Amino acid sequence: METSARTPLHLWIVGAVATLWNAFGCFDYLMTETRNAGYMAMMTDAQRAWIDAFPAWSEGAWACGVWGGLLGSLLLLARSRWAVPAFILSLAGLAVVTVYQRAMSTMPEQFDSPAMWAMTAAIWAVAIFLLFYALAMRGRGVLR
């Protein structure tokens, strides 16, 4: 018989906050991919043109990043060991899309601001934290 550790309160807090955080990433992805008129109206013509030029593999990586993060967050709340591979998928997608955006394309000035660099750093920090948190919870027997 397999026993698992009691669920710590911080798992529910981290899982809930992570779900909200990653849901915003999915919302951004959906609004951008569907070219929602109201959402896209917040962008300049140069920003929209840059987004329209994304190659399919970059958009696929973006999808893996945001949906993998949301799935990982939900799996964390479900206390599933599968949260770890979902967060790995999310980080892999983030890595690919970051390389494309920062090294393989010419980003519009509005997206290449200190605020956007800070947001990218925050996204990386949260994604790495969530992976290590899930690994720690799996190691403690909280995730089954």
Q: Which of 65, 76, 67 is nearest to 123 (CA)?
A: 65
Six-digit token pair at 43?
A: 């962008």
What pLDDT is recorded for position 110? Answer: 83
- Which whole-number Å values give the CA distances from 70 to 23, 38, 49, in the listed order? 6, 24, 27
pLDDT tier, 1 (very low <50, low <70, confident <90, very high otherwise): very low
pLDDT digits (tens, 9 = 90+) for 109-134: 888 889 999 999 999 999 999 999 99
Domain layout of the chain by residue ranges: 9-139
Q: At what angle do helices 56-77 and 9-33 cross, to 10 degrees?
A: 150
pLDDT tops 90 at residue 69: yes
What pLDDT is recorded for position 112? Answer: 84
pLDDT digits (tens, 9 = 90+) for 19-66: 999 999 999 999 999 999 999 999 999 999 999 999 999 999 999 999
Is the dihedral angle over the CA atoms 17, 19, 21, 24 positive or is it negative? negative
With contact defined as beta carbons under 8 Å apart, do 90 and 21 qualify?
no
Q: Which helix (H) or strand (E) holds 83?
A: helix 83-99
With contact defined as beta carbons under 8 Å apart, do 93 and 29 qualify?
no
pLDDT tier, 4 (very low <50, low <70, confident <90, very high otherwise): low
